Structure 1
Amino acid sequence: MNNESLFPGRVLVTGGASGLGAAVVDAVLQAGGTPVVLDRDLREVSAVKAIEVDVADRAAVSSAVQQAAEELGGLDAVVTAAGIDRCGRLEDVPPEDWEQVIFVNLFGTVSVVRAALPYLKASRGRVVTVASTLGKRALPEASAYCASKFGVVGFSQALAAETGGEIGVTTLIPGGMKTRFFDDRAEQYKPQDDSRLNDPANVARAVLFALSQPAGCEVRELLICHAEEGSWP
C-alpha cells in the first residue's frame, strides 16, 4: 500500500471469487482500489482482473502473482482469503484430504506471500493473512483446519517480526461467516443456526481498516466476529 494514501491501491485477493474474498474485492473497489483475484474457479468473476490458479500449486502461484504484479505495475497489498476444510475424526478423514487442507490454507498462504514479497517491499505494502478463531481455539473433528489456521497465525507473527519496517503484516482472525464455506460439509458439521454468523462484508471492512493505517502504524492482529460468536473465546 502506498503510505502516502489511505486508498487500498493494487490488492491481490486469493479466494476472491466467493465468500470473504469476494467481499474484500467489493470493498477494495468501493474504496477506489484495484483488486485482482486469484482463484481456482472464476465462473462468478466478471468485473475485475482474475487469474485461475490453485494456491496449493506453488509454481503456479508464483507465475500467477508475477503476472498480476506485472499487469498492475506492482502490488500494494495481498489478502489471503482462500481456504478449505475437511471435518471429521482424524482416523476418518482420508490422509490426502487432511493434507490438502494444509496445502491450501497454510502452504498456499506462504506461497502467495513469498511470491508477492518483492513487489510489496517495493511499494512498502501490506499483507493481510486470513486465519480463524479456530487458529486460537481448537475443536474436535477439526484437526486439519485447526492445524492449518494455527500455522497461519504463527507464520504471520514470524513474518511480521522478519519484515518489520519493510511491509505491514496483519493477521485477520474472523469467526464464522454467512458464506458457502459450509456447503460441502456433512450435515452434522453445518451450522444449525446461522444467526450467529457474521456478514462477510463486515469482515471485509475490517480488512480495509488494516490496509488504511498510516505509515509507521500496523494492526498486527484483528479478531472480528458476530456479537454472539460461539467459537470464541
Structure 2
Amino acid sequence: MGSLDGLRALVTGGASGIGAAIAELFAAEGAAVAVLDRESPTASGLVAVKADLSDDTAVRAAVEEAVAALGGLDVLVNNAGIGAQGTVETATDDEWARVLDVNVVGTARVSRAAWAHLRASSHAAVVNTSSIAATAGLPERAVYSASKGAVLALTRAMAADGMPDGIRVNAVNPGTADTPWVGRLLDSAPDPAAERAALEARQPHGRLVSADEVARAVLYLASPLSGSTTGTSLAVDGGMEGLRLRPRTP
C-alpha cells in the first residue's frame, strides 16, 4: 500500500523537473494526480490541466477542471515558479512584477481556488516549494530570493489560517537541484562546467540535489502520516542552510 492511497492531489508546475518527480511519485504512492502546467506532463495516467498562474480566471477554471476529474481534492502542491538572475541594482520593475506575480501571487491564486475543496477533505495538506534562497543570501538572486522568502512567510500564514479548516500547510526548501531549469542556467554561463562545479561545491555534500530527493520530502509533508506537522519548512539542500564545515583538505 502507498502512503497516499485513495487521495487526490494537484501539482502545479508538474510537467518537468521537481514537479514531474513529485507527480510521478505521488501516483506511485497511490494518489490520483492532476498536473497544472502550461505544458502537458510526460508521464501517463496523470490528469493534465493548463493555466498561466498570472491569470486568475484561468487558474480557477483549471482547478475546477482538476477537481472534477479527480472527484475531489486532498493535497495541493504549489511547485510552479520562475527564476530570475541579478542584483537589486540591476533588476527592473518588470522583473520584480513578473516573478512576484507567478511565485507568490500565483501560489496564492491556486491555493485560493483550491481552499474550499481542501476544506472538505479529512486529510487536507498543502506543500509549497520555497528555496534555500529564502534562508541563505545568494549572489545575484535578489528578486528570486525575495519571492521565495515571501513563499516561506506565506506558508506560515496559510498554516495558521488552515488550522480551523483542518488544512495542514508546509514548505520544502530545495537547494540547487539538477533540473532542466538549472541546466539552462548552466548552458548560458561562459564556462558551464566551471559553473556546475561551483554550484556543487557550494552545497556541503558536494553535489546538486536530485528532483527525486525533493519529491520524497514533499511526499512526507503531504502524507497523512505527518498529521502533526504544519507551519514548518523542510530543507533538502545537502546541509547548505545550517552547516558551516571546514574546507576540505586534499
What TM-score do the two structures reach when normalised by structure 1?
0.88
CA contact under 8 A between 1:126 and 1:168: conserved in structure 2?
A: yes
2:234 corresponds to which residue? 223
| 2:223 match | 212
Q: Which deviates further from its counterpart, 56-65 or 74-83?
A: 56-65
Answer yes or no: is the 8 Å Cα contact 2:63–2:114 preserved in 1: yes
User: Match of 2:69, SS?
Assistant: helix
Match of 1:171 in 2: 171
Instruction: Verify: 1:110 aligned to 2:108, yes or no.
Output: yes
Structure 2 unaligned segments of length 5 or more: list them: 201-205, 244-250
Q: Distance in 2 between matches of 1:31 and 1:57?
A: 31
> 1 or 2 for the larger relative contact order (CA 8 Å, sep ≥6)?
1
The equivalent residue for 2:12 is 14
| Matched letter for residue 157 of structure 1 | R
How far 1:7 moved relative to its partner? Answer: 3.0
Tell me how far apart the structure 1 counterparts of residues 128 and 109 of structure 2 sit (CA, whole Å). 12
RMSD: 2.3
* Partner AA of 1:127 in structure 2: V
Q: Quick check: 2:132–2:237 contact (8 Å CA) kept in 1?
A: no
Residue in 2 aligned with 1:128?
Answer: 127
Q: 2:11–2:19: 8 Å Cα contact kept in structure 1? A: yes
> Judging changes above 3 Å, is the alpha-carbon distance between structure 1 residues 204 and 187 closer, same or farther for their aligned structure 2 residues?
same
Distance 1:45 1:55 in 2: 22
Query: Given the superposition, is the C-alpha separation of residues 8 and 163 from structure 1 closer, same or farther in structure 2, using an over 3 Å criterion?
Result: same
- Between structure 1 and structure 2, the one with the greater Rg is 2
What's the offset of the Cα at 1:214?
3.9
SS in 1 for 2:34: strand
Q: For 1:104-158, what per-residue CA distance to the aligned partner results, in whole angstroms no more than 9, with x for missing partners?
A: 1111111010100000000131100111111112323211111111110111101
Task: Please state how far the C-alpha of 1:174 moved relative to its aligned partner.
Answer: 1.4
Amino acid paired to 1:102: L
3-state SS of 1:59 partner: helix
The 5-angstrom pairing of residues 143-154 of structure 1 reads: 143-154=142-153
Structure 1 stretches of 5 or more lacking a match?
A: none
Task: Indicate conservation of the 8 Å contact 1:8/1:76, yes or no.
Answer: no
**Cα distance between partner residues in 1 of 2:225 and 2:89:** 48
Change (3 A) 1:6 1:18: closer
Separation of aligned partners in 1, 2:6 and 2:17: 20
User: What's the secondary structure of 2:224's corresponding residue?
Assistant: coil
Q: How far did residue 102 of structure 1 move?
A: 0.8
Corresponding residue number in structure 1 for 2:182: 182
User: Kindly, what percent of the aligned residue pairs are identical?
Assistant: 36
> Residue 89 of structure 1 corresponds to which residue in structure 2?
87
Task: Give 2:247's aligned residue.
Answer: none
From 32, 35, 39, the counterpart of 2:33: 35
Name the amino acid aligned to 1:162.
D
Instruction: Tell me the secondary structure at the aligned position of residue 123 of structure 1.
Output: coil
**Contact 1:196–1:230, Cα closer than 8 Å, also in 2:** no
Note the C-alpha offset of 1:230: 4.3
Residues 13, 20 of structure 2: 8 Å contact kept:
yes
Aligned counterpart, 2:23: 25
Tell me the alpha carbon deviations over residues 53-79 of structure 1, each in whole angstroms, 9 at most, x when there is no partner.
Answer: 111222211111011112211101000
Q: How many residue pairs get matched?
A: 228
Between 1:115-124 and 1:52-61, the stretch displaced more is 52-61
Return the offset for 1:160: 0.6
User: Is contact 2:86-2:143 (8 Å) kept?
Assistant: no
